């Protein structure tokens, strides 16, 4: 490619890139919202599989169960990063505005859930049958619900 053509092509490409960024560049707040929703997607996908096992709709595989419980606990520990105050101005989300005015209660429910899913993960490691994980799973599920009832849009 001739030098002039190359420069022209580069300029066009850069122009397009800048235009694309200006058009729908997510704000930092939007990115944080997407980040936390992605964390919930991972938590939800793994947790619902555990639920299927506990309800007898899927076979119990001790290793798989323990691994999924571990994933839930691991990602749950990261959730606070998705709820920093900066994310408040992000795109519309399933988080109720009350979350920001009743932050202490939200944080309490989040901590409680982190504790319950950690207990579930620990219990699952030494479990021999689905009966051994049932109550820890129930407690974790209740912790999800307690917060959703208060702070998540239906
Ligand atoms: C302390 C509060 C709290 C707890 C505890 C909690 N959640 Fe949520 N959850 C939320 C909020 C708030 C949203 C909405 C997030 C948003 O859209 O910004 C949400 C959204 C979700 C979503 C939808 C994600 C999306 O892409 O919109 C799933 C799935 C989910 N939670 C699963 C769970 C599971 C499973 C648990 C328990 C293991 C749990 N949550 C525990 C507050 C909580």
Ligand 1: atom nearest CA of 48 is 35
pLDDT value at 32 more than 60: yes
Q: Are 72 and 144 in contact (CB under 8 A)?
A: no
Q: Which residues contact 42 (CB under 8 A, 6 or more apart)?
A: 71, 75
CA of 40 to the centre of ligand 1 (A): 5
pLDDT value of residue 11: 59
Residue 43 Cβ inside 6 Å of ligand 1? The answer reads: yes
Does residue 15 or residue 40 have the better pLDDT?
40
How far, CA to CA in Å, does 69 sit from each of 60, 64, 140? 13, 9, 10
Structure tokens of 42? 């991972």
Q: Tell me the mean pLDDT in the region 46-62.
A: 98
Tell which residue, 115, 102, 107, has the closest CA to residue 142: 115
For the whole model, what pTM was predicted?
0.87
Separation of alpha carbons 145 and 127, rounded Å? 24
Looking at residue 87, its pLDDT comes to: 96
- pLDDT (tens digit, 9 = 90+) per residue, 88-143? 999 999 999 999 999 999 999 999 999 999 999 999 999 999 999 999 999 999 99
Give the chain's domains with CATH numbers. Answer: 27-151 (1.20.120.10)
Whether 66 is in the pocket of ligand 1, judged by its Cβ within 6 Å, is no
In this prediction, residue 24 carries a pLDDT of 73
Q: Is 73 in the pocket of ligand 1 (CB under 6 A)?
A: no
């Amino acid at each position: 490619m001739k030098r002039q053509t190359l420069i022209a092509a580069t300029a066009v490409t850069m122009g397009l890139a800048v235009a694309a960024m200006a058009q729908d560049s997510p704000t930092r707040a939007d990115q944080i919202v997407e980040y936390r929703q992605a964390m919930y997607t991972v938590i939800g996908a793994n947790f619902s599989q555990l639920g299927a096992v506990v309800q007898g709709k899927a076979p119990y595989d001790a290793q798989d169960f323990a691994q999924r419980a571990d994933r839930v606990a691991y990602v749950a520990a990261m959730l606070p990063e998705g709820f920093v105050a900066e994310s408040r101005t992000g795109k519309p989300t399933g988080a109720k505005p009350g979350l920001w005015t009743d932050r202490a209660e939200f944080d309490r429910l989040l901590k409680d859930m982190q504790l319950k899913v950690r207990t579930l993960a620990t219990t699952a490691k030494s479990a021999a049958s689905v009966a051994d994980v049932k109550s820890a799973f129930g407690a974790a599920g209740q912790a999800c619900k307690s917060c959703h009832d208060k702070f998540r849009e239906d």
